[in-house]
Structure 1
Amino acid sequence: MFEKLCVGALMAFVFWHPESVNATEAVPVPLPQLPATFSGTLPCASCEGIQTSITLQADGTFFSRQLYEGQASPNQANDLGRWVMSHYGNIVVMQGQNSEQRYFRVKSADSLEMLDLEARSIFSILNYSLNRTSSAETLDLKLFPLNGLYRYFADSGRFTECASGLDLPVVTMGDNAKLENAYLRLRAEPGQALLATVYAHIKPAPPMEGQNSTPSLHPLRFENIAKGDCAPRLYSASLKDQFWTLVQLKGKPVVLPETGRAPGLMLHTDNSRLSGSGGCNQLLGSYSMDGRFVQLNMVAATRMACLSPGNVDAELIETLTQVKTWNILGQRMELYDQLGRLLARFEAR
C-alpha cells in the first residue's frame, strides 16, 4: 500500500538526486535515542492524506501504522519488519510483511523524508516528511496475515515472526487451542518449528511481578500451519566477498539465465581482486577504494562466443570503466558514474 504514497502522489516530480547517495562523502546523520516514533501526514493520490507513524527500534525492528483519510473502512494498514541504514547517504531501508522495500532519508535526528521506490528524492511542493514525536509508541498492532515459525515445548508456545525476527510468547486465548492442536498433529518431534499463518494482535503482556511488560502474540484467528521456513529477512550486505548478481544495467533490467552462470561481480578482500561474469565470459580484474569512491580495473576476460539471454559481457565491461562511487541499501548494491547517475544495480543472492 505504500506504493500509493509516491507512485500516485499529486504534483510530485521525481528526479535523480546525486547528492543524496553518491556524489561526495556524506557525514552520517545519527539516529540517537531509539526507540523513536516519526509521524506525519503523507500525500495520497486517492485519499485526503495518509496519517503515518513509523517506530524504529534499537534492535533493528520497526512497526508502522497508516490511516487513509477520507476512505471507507477498512482504511488502516499496519506493518512490522526490519530496518537497516544504507552504507552512504543516510537512508533508512525498511522491509515489512510484504516484499516491497521502503526508503526514508534521515534529514536530521528528528526528521525523516520519504523517498520513492528507487530510493530517490521526490521533488514536489507536497510534504513527504515525518517528524519525531515526544515519546516512542508501544508495539500494539493487529496484523493479518502474520507468518512465523511456531513451536510448542514445555507447555508453552512461541512464535518467531518472519519479517522482523521477533520471538514472541503466545498467549492462551482466541484461536490458541486450534494453533496448538494443529501443530501437535503435524510436528515430527518436540520443539520442531513449523510455519504458521495467523491473524494476531501483538501487544504487551501483563507484566509479571518484578518484571517489565514484553510484547506477546494473541492469536485471534488460526489460518494454517505447514512444514517450511521464513523467507530471508532484510539485512545489510557487505560489499566485499559477496557475489553480487546483476539485475539492472544502464536503466534496463537484466534477463537472468535459468541455468549456468549469472552475470555479476565479486570484490575479494585478498589482493583487491575482482572477479565476475557478464553471463557468459569470466571477468577478472582489480579494484581500489577510498571510502565511497571506487575504481574497477578489468585486466582479462575469456572469449567464448555466447548467444544466450542475459549475456551482457561487452556492455558490463564498458560500464565498469565509468564507475566512480558505490552504495549498498540492504541487499542491493548500486554503482554510479562521476555525475551520480546510476549505472548498474546488483542484488546479494
Structure 2
Amino acid sequence: APEGGSGEPDPPAATDAPTLAGPQPPALYSGVLPCADCAGIRYELDLRPDGVYFLRTTYLGTEPTGVFDDIGRWDLDEARALVVLRGGRPAPEVFSIEDAVTLRKRDLEGREIESGLNYDITLQRAYVPLEPALRLRGMYRLTGAMALLEECLTGLELRVIEPADQGALRQAYEALRSEPQQPALAIFTGRIVKQPAISGAAAQNAAIVERFEQVEPQGACDTPEHTL
C-alpha cells in the first residue's frame, strides 16, 4: 500500500481480502501432507455453511490403511487469515488462507511450518460431502416415532437411524427415561449421512447407528475447550 495515505483504503483490504480468498462453503479441500512414518497423510476437509466441518485423514502406505474421521466447528480468523478447526482431537487444526483455492496447514499457534514439504490442501471442483464414521456422543430423545440426537461437538441435530434388527439404543433409552422426550446422553459408533428430501421436506442430517455403547440418563455434553 502507498505510504502517507489517508488510511481509508486499508480497512477494506484487511477485512475483505480474507473473506474473498477464504472458503465459500460448502467446500471440499484435499491434499497429501507429509508423514514421518508413512507415505503421506491425505487430508479431506469438508467445510459446511452451518459452521460444521468434517475431516478425514488417511495414512497412506500402511497395512491396513489408517483412516480417521473428526467432526467439529470451524471459525474464520479474518485478522490473521486463518481457518481454525475445533473438534474431537486434543488440539485445534489450523490452516492459513493462501488464495481462493488453497489452504495451508500451520502449527498449533497459527505459524508457518518451516519445511520445504507440501502442506497445502486445495479446493476440489466437485463438492462431494464426506460421511464421517466415528464414535458419536450427543443428547438423545424421542419425538413421536422419530429419534433425534443433538451431537456434542457440532451441535448438529441428527435423525437417528437404527437397523431394524437392532434397536439397542432406543430400547436402552426407553428403559431409563423418566419423562417423555427427556434427553439422555447417548454414545455409539456410527456414520453421519445426508438423508434425501422427502415429501417436500428439506434434506436432513442423519446418524446411522453401527455399534451401540451406552445411554447415561444424567450425562451431558462436555465439549472440550480449545485455545489457539
Q: What TM-score, normalized by structure 2, do the two folds share?
A: 0.85
> Match for residue 187 of structure 1?
177
Please report how far the alpha carbon of residue 190 of structure 1 lies from its aligned counterpart in structure 2 after TM superposition.
1.2
> Match for residue 10 of structure 2?
none
> Match for residue 159 of structure 2?
169
Give structure 2 stretches of 5+ with no counterpart.
1-12
Alpha-carbon distance in 2 for matches of 1:175, 1:72: 33
Please report how far the alpha carbon of residue 156 of structure 1 lies from its aligned counterpart in structure 2 after TM superposition.
1.4
Alpha-carbon distance in 1 for matches of 2:23, 2:33: 24
Please report how far the alpha carbon of residue 211 of structure 1 lies from its aligned counterpart in structure 2 after TM superposition.
4.0
> Match for residue 135 of structure 1?
126
> Match for residue 18 of structure 2?
29
The structure with the largest alpha-carbon Rg is 1
Change (3 A) 1:181 1:33: same
Out of 33, 42, 49, the residue aligned to residue 58 of structure 1 is 49
Please report how far the alpha carbon of residue 206 of structure 1 lies from its aligned counterpart in structure 2 after TM superposition.
4.2
Confirm whether residue 104 of structure 1 aligns to residue 87 of structure 2: no
3-state SS in 2 of match to 1:123 = coil
Alpha-carbon distance in 2 for matches of 1:175, 1:230: 29
Q: What TM-score, normalized by structure 1, do the two folds share?
A: 0.57
Is 1:26–1:89's contact at 8 Å kept on the other side of the alignment? Answer: no
> Match for residue 325 of structure 1?
none
Is 1:148–1:161's contact at 8 Å kept on the other side of the alignment? Answer: yes
**1:122-178 Cα deviation digits (max 9, x unpaired):** 0211010011000222242211x2111111121211011111111011124268611
Amino acid at match of 2:18: V
RMSD: 2.1
3-state SS in 2 of match to 1:29 = helix
Amino acid at match of 2:121: L
> Match for residue 125 of structure 1?
116
Please report how far the alpha carbon of residue 331 of structure 1 lies from its aligned counterpart in structure 2 after TM superposition.
4.9
Q: Percent identity?
A: 33
Amino acid at match of 2:206: S
Change (3 A) 1:54 1:183: same
Alpha-carbon distance in 2 for matches of 1:174, 1:118: 47
Amino acid at match of 1:125: G
Out of 207, 214, 221, the residue aligned to residue 204 of structure 2 is 214
Please report how far the alpha carbon of residue 100 of structure 1 lies from its aligned counterpart in structure 2 after TM superposition.
1.8
Alpha-carbon distance in 1 for matches of 2:206, 2:68: 20
Change (3 A) 1:118 1:331: closer
3-state SS in 1 of match to 2:167 = helix
Alpha-carbon distance in 2 for matches of 1:92, 1:196: 30
Is 1:149–1:195's contact at 8 Å kept on the other side of the alignment? Answer: yes
Change (3 A) 1:222 1:93: same
Confirm whether residue 85 of structure 1 aligns to residue 89 of structure 2: no
> Match for residue 45 of structure 1?
36
Confirm whether residue 229 of structure 1 aligns to residue 217 of structure 2: no
Is 1:202–1:218's contact at 8 Å kept on the other side of the alignment? Answer: yes
3-state SS in 2 of match to 1:200 = strand
| Structure 1 stretch displaced more, 96-105 or 204-213 | 204-213
Change (3 A) 1:175 1:162: farther
| Structure 1 stretch displaced more, 25-34 or 80-89 | 25-34
Give structure 1 stretches of 5+ with no counterpart.
1-24, 235-329, 333-349
Alpha-carbon distance in 2 for matches of 1:85, 1:40: 20
Alpha-carbon distance in 2 for matches of 1:109, 1:229: 39
